[in-house]
Amino acid sequence: QFSATGVQTCFHGRHIQPQIYAGLDGTNWRLKDYEARGGYQALRRILGKDGGDGLTPDQVIAEVKASALRGRGGAGFPTGLKWSFMPRQFPGQKYLVCNSDEGEPGTCKDRDILMHNPHIVIEGMAIAAYAMGISVGYNYIHGEIFQVYERFEAALEEARAAGYLGHNILGSGFSFQLHAHHGFGAYICGEETALLESLEGKKGQPRFKPPFPASFGLYGKPTTINNTETFAAVPWIIRNGGQAYLEVGKPNNGGTKIFSVSGDVERPGNYEIPLGTPFAKLLELAGGVRAGRQLKAVIPGGSSAPVLPASIMMDCTMDYDSIAKAGSMLGSGAVIVMDDTRCMVKSLQRLSYFYMHESCGQCTPCREGTGWLWRVVDRIENGQGRPSDLDLLDNVAENIMGRTICALGDAAAMPVRGMIKHFRHEFVHHVEHKTCMVPAYV
Ligand code: SF4
């Protein structure tokens, strides 16, 4: 099925132990549907509205810490630990921000959550705001998916009308105002400090860190930023307990994760599975490699993650630690599958163009280096490569990494190094024979 966002969604059982996708059918996004699935029970529980005493903010953070929930936006930072950085006694305004500026090539999960289960994000944010003593929040939604923004606005209206947002929520004394904001499609605004700049109405360019957002965030105030999927995981954790969430996944990798599987598979789409599930199982859920062809390589975590050859990938489990051990990153969970008809030089040419195009231009190594990377890969692809070009690519990549304000520079350099490390022979063939060694798809 394709949703209104153009994302291929998977509502019919092609998930394993789903938490965010549980009970979804593509139409039941409204408040009454969410409540029928147990929605807002977690918020009611912490506020003492289910007959119990409620949970203190410290108890909520302790549950999230126990769950081993790691940030689903890409970095995989422990969520409970991030929440504990918020200075709760800070006397002025503090902010909570949801990063829904999903723009990583291959990633299409956050828009799917917001479209089909928006209240789970609202509830997760309200719980987070309670835990950190925050009264105002924003959800920054990617600019090219305006219908998702409209859906989230509609859900916000329902939540406000039902008393789950606003002043004195459910008569508890806790207040939380949540607003939606849409960007204008710049990839760099997914970087948290660029997002804050954009939210403030400025040009979306990353800030130098430190200071980190926990002390100097939106409008210079303490701010906690989490990804859409991270907030969506929170209600299940509070309803079922942090330990239960941890046990769904594996140590240090609690819970389920939504993987956006694209490329050369029979059924591309979003799949929610426990962290630690073998990659082979995920590939099976996605229908296997298209037309029975051979798996060649996989980019396991969005375009910034180094590519892994099939021989390594088939031994991996889908969790942060296994993929890192294999030499790549789980990132945002965008799994790009490539079969034996894919040319790695051509693939890298496209990736390099993307990063050159999306560089904000603030730092010289990124602004100039991403252009260098693209131009060199482009001439190799077009049969004009030189024998020294592979060393040149490595040198440029090395001189970008670790020398820029934000991670986009590294994100541009890492795929180059990964491709050349595992598929050097293809680049050498292009240089020596001025043509591609990979047979075209028939
Ligand atoms: Fe901008 Fe690139 Fe520097 Fe990031 S690394 S601040 S995108 S120029």
pLDDT tens digits, 237-293: 999 999 999 999 888 888 999 999 999 999 999 999 999 999 999 999 999 999 989
Cα-to-centroid distance, 48 and ligand 1 (Å): 46
CA nearest 123: which of 38, 26, 23?
38
Peptide bond into 306 cis (omega under 30): no
Both tokens of 254, joined, read 């609690």
- Whole-number Cα distances in Å, 105 to 102, 256, 324, 336: 9, 21, 20, 9
Q: What is the pLDDT of residues 96-152, one digit of tens each?
A: 999 999 988 889 999 999 999 999 999 999 999 999 999 999 999 998 889 999 999
Both tokens of 221, joined, read 């105030």
Which is the closest atom of ligand 1 to the Cα of 361?
8
Cα-to-centroid distance, 6 and ligand 1 (Å): 29
Which is the closest atom of ligand 1 to the Cα of 370?
2
Which is the closest atom of ligand 1 to the Cα of 406?
4
Asked whether 402 lines ligand 1 (CB < 6 A), one says: no
Chain centroid to Cα 255, Å, comes to: 15
* CA pair distance 62, 84, nearest whole angstrom: 9
Asked whether 362 lines ligand 1 (CB < 6 A), one says: yes
Question: Which residues pair with residue 158 across a beta bridge?
Answer: none
**Ligand 1 pocket test target in 193, 205, 304 with most atoms within 8 Å of CB:** 205
Give the pLDDT of residue 88. 80
The answer, yes or no, to whether residue 19 has pLDDT greater than 80, is: yes
CA nearest 200: which of 95, 112, 108?
95
Provide the sign of the torsion angle of the four alpha carbons 324, 329, 332, 333, taken in this order.
negative
Pairing of strands 334-339, 256-263: parallel
If one counts every other C-beta atom within 10 angstroms of the C-beta of residue 201, the result is 6
Which is the closest atom of ligand 1 to the Cα of 358?
7
| Structure ipTM | 0.99
Give the pLDDT of residue 2. 53
Question: Which residue did the predictor score with more confidence, 360 or 442?
Answer: 360
Q: What are phi and psi of 300, to 5 degrees?
A: -85, -10
**What predicted TM-score, i.e. pTM, was given to this entire model?**
0.95
Asked whether 343 lines ligand 1 (CB < 6 A), one says: no
- Nearest-CA residue for ligand 1 atom 3 is 363
Give the pLDDT of residue 437. 87
Residues 6+ apart with CB under 8 A from 4: 115, 147
Which is the closest atom of ligand 1 to the Cα of 366?
2
Cα-to-centroid distance, 291 and ligand 1 (Å): 40
User: Are 290 and 314 a contacting pair, CB within 8 Å?
Assistant: no
* CA pair distance 384, 174, nearest whole angstrom: 65
Give the pLDDT of residue 440. 65
* CA pair distance 438, 276, nearest whole angstrom: 33
Question: Which residue did the predictor score with more confidence, 10 or 202?
Answer: 202
Give the pLDDT of residue 91. 87
The answer, yes or no, to whether residue 12 has pLDDT greater than 90, is: no
Chain centroid to Cα 260, Å, comes to: 10
pLDDT above 70 as % of the chain? 98
For tokens 């790549």, the residue is: 328
- Whole-number Cα distances in Å, 95 to 69, 78, 182, 213: 21, 19, 17, 10
Both tokens of 138, joined, read 């924003």
Residues 6+ apart with CB under 8 A from 13: none
